[in-house]
Amino acid sequence: MAVYTQLTDAELDALLANYDIGRAVSFKGISEGVSNTNFKLETEKGRFILTIFERRTEEVDLPFFMGVMARLAERNFPCPQPVPTKQGALLTRAQGKPATIVTFLQGASPHDPDIAHCAAIGEALARMHVALDGFEMQRANSLGPDAWAKLIAPRLAQAEYLRPGLARLIESDMAEVAQEWPRDLPRGVIHADLFPDNSLFVGDRLGGVIDFYFACTDFLAYDIAVCLNAWCFEDQRHYDIGRGAALLAAYETIRPLSDAERDALPTLCRGAGLRFFATRLEDWGNVAEDALVKPKDPREYADILTFHRSVKDAGDYGA
């Protein structure tokens, strides 16, 4: 989440006139994240999140994202629900860009996840995968393996500037992951970006999962790999196997992994590391000066990839 597009009071009033949620009482930008513009919105009838979709989100994909959240809400999975306009539409426009308003969930994102947080997110991830089983809409992963080289290759000189020797290591990672990438694992709808700042907790209890705007159809185990990258490092080079074991064990209480998924986990984790290195490298020098967002340092994932290169099997992640 972030703020790239600012709205005037008049623009906000005009947008809310299309909804039956009352006039705005307060309106504040959310600076966390890097992809879309987000605001906390309180009206006379409640609290909401207004999202304006930016360059990395294709408008053609928005019905898929709305459908995913609606399906999860129907099955009692804690996530935001899109709010319809007076005409029943789940999408609107703000400054010519597509936008949506969704319900507000209670809780706070953990800044230093512990074992209890990781167990809760592992269970929730499996519940989400099960709830979305059979979902008819599909969306290809636009930030899957084919996209990484396209993002990284033009920026290898920048990677080398950030850290001498890094370009060669990243090129080797891309080649090895491409050769080892699995071809036939269980597939379904995945979140694909379930970082701590896309979760809300009340104490150790999960209050909800948010920001489904990278959701896609891909290997279910790749979603686990994303979470192991995002939740289980004490710092960038030190993987906390206790957190990883808790996340994986909790996931498997709902949906046990196949042998093939377990065998593929090291490659999937290394690939997920490359995915976040790639988008962070792209964002590093590509944020407008007036945007309320701080780009995340790609060197953090360069360090995480150092750990992944040392992994022998899924046991090193706590499986």
Confidence of residue 32 (pLDDT cuts 50, 70, 90): low
Distance of alpha carbon 147 from alpha carbon 141, whole angstroms: 9
Q: Where are the domains of the chain?
A: 9-103, 115-317
Please state which CATH number belongs to domain 9-103: 3.30.200.20
Helix (H) or strand (E) holding 61: none
Distance of alpha carbon 160 from alpha carbon 158, whole angstroms: 5
Q: Is 60 exceeded by the pLDDT of residue 33? A: no
Task: Return the pLDDT at 56.
Answer: 78
Strands 238-239, 233-235: pairing is antiparallel
Q: Is it true that 9-103 and 115-317 share their CATH fold?
A: no
Q: Which two tokens mark 115?
A: 């074992």
Q: Is 80 exceeded by the pLDDT of residue 237? A: no
Distance of alpha carbon 221 from alpha carbon 183, whole angstroms: 12
Task: Return the pLDDT at 3.
Answer: 74
Tell me which residue of 208, 317, 207 sits closest to 272, measured CA to CA.
317
Domain 115-317 falls in which CATH fold? Answer: Aminoglycoside 3'-phosphotransferase; Chain: A, domain 2 (3.90.1200)
User: Has this prediction a pTM greater than 0.85?
Assistant: yes
Q: Is 60 exceeded by the pLDDT of residue 278? A: yes
Q: Is 90 exceeded by the pLDDT of residue 272? A: yes
Task: Return the pLDDT at 292.
Answer: 52
CB contact at 8 A, 225 and 122? no
Sequence-ordered list of residues with C-beta below 8 angstroms from that of 158, at least 6 positions apart, any chain: 281, 284, 285
Distances, alpha carbon 48 to alpha carbons 26, 45, 111, in Å: 10, 10, 23
Confidence of residue 204 (pLDDT cuts 50, 70, 90): confident
149 dihedral zone (left: phi>0; alpha: psi -120 to 50; beta):
alpha
Q: Is 70 exceeded by the pLDDT of residue 291? A: no
Phi, psi of 280 (to 5 degrees): -70, -40
Instruction: Give pLDDT tens digits for 118-173.
Output: 999 999 999 999 999 999 999 999 999 999 999 999 999 999 999 999 999 999 99
Task: Return the pLDDT at 296.
Answer: 85
Instruction: Give pLDDT tens digits for 54-86.
Output: 987 899 999 999 999 999 999 999 999 999 999
